[in-house]
Structure 1
Amino acid sequence: MINKSSPIPIYHQLEERIKTEIEEGSLKSGDLLPSEREYAETFKISRMTVRQAISNLVSNGYVYRKKGTGTFVSQKKFEQILPGLTSFTEDMKRRGMVPSNELVEFSILPAPEEVAHALDIKNSESVYKIERIRLADNFPMALETTFVSKHRIEGITEEIAHTSLYEYFESTLNLNIDHATQLIESSIINSEEKKLLHMKTGDPVLLIQRTTYLDDGTPLEFVKSVYRADRYRFMIDMKR
């Protein structure tokens, strides 16, 4: 129930109540929330208070509004805890989901300047470019473009590009992956990405750039990824 004598604002109490129902599963993805009027009548509070609670839930991605229809529970976001270097395949398997790839491009080309800098090679050196849609239970989660120096890693084929590259690096080539540096920023989906990820114009995405290193400090791969912000989030565990 809503405690009107509590120092906690009423809108926040309602917000937390709805959030708990979502997290505990009594409200599931795609469920239609009661209307502002229904919430107001149930808890004997103003519709303005209800509107504030719902607006906060929309801002935090728990629910979304559909014009003329109502407010619905959002798809659950997958959370990756940082630090911790895992591949997409490992991450999805850990969640009990089936990972898969759709290969968009497999090519060998001279390293672009940004890629050459990240991999510490010359611009003229050849790199593998592997662009893939990463899926979980056949749902597109991210568009990932990986660059690997052909001089350092021989033998990557289109067939291998359909599988986990980390598994190939570690199990087949016996390479020791040590760490990675990663940059995350927010953006808006572009026209090419929205088609591949089944998104709409203006939808938010997370742009991620990662350089992965072997145990001797050699750069192994440079990866640029576009993650659906409506399905993915990152949590960082920080220690002083």
Structure 2
Amino acid sequence: MMTQDGLLPLYEQVRRRLLSEIETGRLAEGSFLPPEFELCATYGVSRITLRRAVGELCAEGVLIRQQGRGTVIAPRKLQQSISLSGFADVVEGRGHKAGHRILGREDGADAPAAASRLRAERVVRFVRLLEIDDRPMTLETLFFDEERFADAVGPVGTGESFFATLRASYGVEPEHAERVIDVGFARASEAQSLGVSTTEPVYRIEKLVLGAGGAPIALSHTITPCRLVTLAVKN
């Protein structure tokens, strides 16, 4: 039961109570909120008050309304450094499980722009869904030189980390990267893969990774919902 606090509107008290239960794990990320009638009874408030509180948390990205399903607790944002670290390095370094689900593969891809930037005669293209703790996080299109890194094609095709494979098979380490970052909305096919709506903002990042002597290693295009990550720049 909520108490009447003259300093805070009732909906704000409910918002704070919900937020506290989310932050302490009583309402787990990825789970759905209990039904409205149950929450109204728990907090002793009207549906109008509850909906105002829930609406505020949706606007903050803490909750996500899913049409026809309910309201889900959003995963906590992962701080993703704009550094040379690969996806698996960042995720596993923070105690999470990284996954690479292969959605498509094209050997000898018809991608002249990618081949030119990679200075390659023949490139392979992978479309991968990068997952954190088995939840979709990033949709990635990855290109690399199919002949230069032939021993990486098989492992990447079975879901292994590309950069970990390069280290193990070739002793290759990235030295710097060129990036272009934009914000837009997910297209229908992208939204379906990521499990988001087409009205949700996403980061679009193009990254060219370079190795020793400025030799290109890989080109990627990634799409990540803004609510899932905070981008941090490291010099």
Question: Shorter-normalised TM-score: what interval?
Answer: 0.7 to 0.9
CA 88–206 in structure 1, closer or farther in 2 if over 3 Å, else same: same
Where does residue 172 of structure 2 map in the other structure?
175
Where does residue 79 of structure 2 map in the other structure?
80
Q: Say what the alpha-carbon RMSD is for the aligned residues.
A: 3.7
- In the alignment, is residue 161 of structure 1 matched against residue 162 of structure 2? no
Q: % of aligned pairs identical?
A: 23
Q: 1:146 aligns with which of 135, 142, 149?
A: 142
> Could you tell me whether the CA contact under 8 Å between 1:100 and 1:136 is conserved in 2?
no
Q: 2:131 aligns with which of 115, 129, 135?
A: 135
Alignment partners' CA distance in 1, 2:192 and 2:51: 33
> Could you tell me whether the CA contact under 8 Å between 1:188 and 1:205 is conserved in 2?
yes
CA 87–157 in structure 1, closer or farther in 2 if over 3 Å, else same: closer
Alignment partners' CA distance in 2, 1:83 and 1:3: 46
Where does residue 220 of structure 1 map in the other structure?
217
Instruction: Structure 2: state its 5+ residue gaps.
Output: none
> Could you tell me whether the CA contact under 8 Å between 1:211 and 1:219 is conserved in 2?
yes
Where does residue 33 of structure 2 map in the other structure?
32
> Could you tell me whether the CA contact under 8 Å between 2:103 and 2:128 is conserved in 1?
yes
Q: How many residues align?
A: 230
The one-letter code sitting in structure 2 at the alignment partner of 1:127 is V
> Could you tell me whether the CA contact under 8 Å between 1:89 and 1:164 is conserved in 2?
yes
The one-letter code sitting in structure 2 at the alignment partner of 1:134 is L
Bigger share in helix: 2
> Could you tell me whether the CA contact under 8 Å between 2:151 and 2:169 is conserved in 1?
no
Q: Alpha-carbon deviations, 1:8-64, whole Å to 9, x = none? A: 7665554343222212112223242574996599477x8766544322211122113
Give TM-score scaled by structure 1 length.
0.72
Aligned-pair distance for 1:79? 0.5
The one-letter code sitting in structure 2 at the alignment partner of 1:32 is L
- In the alignment, is residue 206 of structure 1 matched against residue 207 of structure 2? no
Give TM-score scaled by structure 2 length.
0.73
Runs of 4+ in 1 over 6 A off after TM superposition: none
